[in-house]
Amino acid sequence: MTTDLIMGIAAETMKVTLLVSAPVLLVGLVVGLVISVFQAVTQVHEMTLAFVPKIIAVMLALLLAAPWMMDQLVSFTHNLFTNIPNYVK
């Protein structure tokens, strides 16, 4: 195993991690931004108003994106395990 190979695997791992987490994080960001603007406009600063919609939106995004996320993770893991003989050389 060379340093280049390890760095390549690490880079691919980071790419897959960012790709898989992006939909849920973006939904949380957008919902949080919308709620913040709503709170600023109405001057209502209730804690549950900030967290409950965000939790619901993130759970829905997770539920909708779960098949795609699992497909990405299984594909990455399959490629990693398939290439083990190439890594050992």
Cβ atoms of 43 and 73 within 8 Å: the answer is no
What are 3-62's pLDDT values in tens digits? 898 999 999 999 999 999 999 999 999 999 999 999 889 888 887 778 899 999 999 999
In a domain, 89, yes or no: no
69 Cβ neighbours under 8 A, 6+ residues apart? 20, 23
Residue 18 placed within a domain:
yes
Is residue 26, in this structure, part of any structural domain at all?
A: yes
pLDDT reading at 89 higher than 90: no
Say if 15 falls within a structural domain.
yes
Name the residue range of residue 43's domain.
Answer: 3-84
Nearest residue to 52 (alpha-carbon basis) of 26, 27, 31: 31
What pLDDT score does 8 carry? 92
DSSP conformational letter for 45: -
Number of domains in the chain: 1
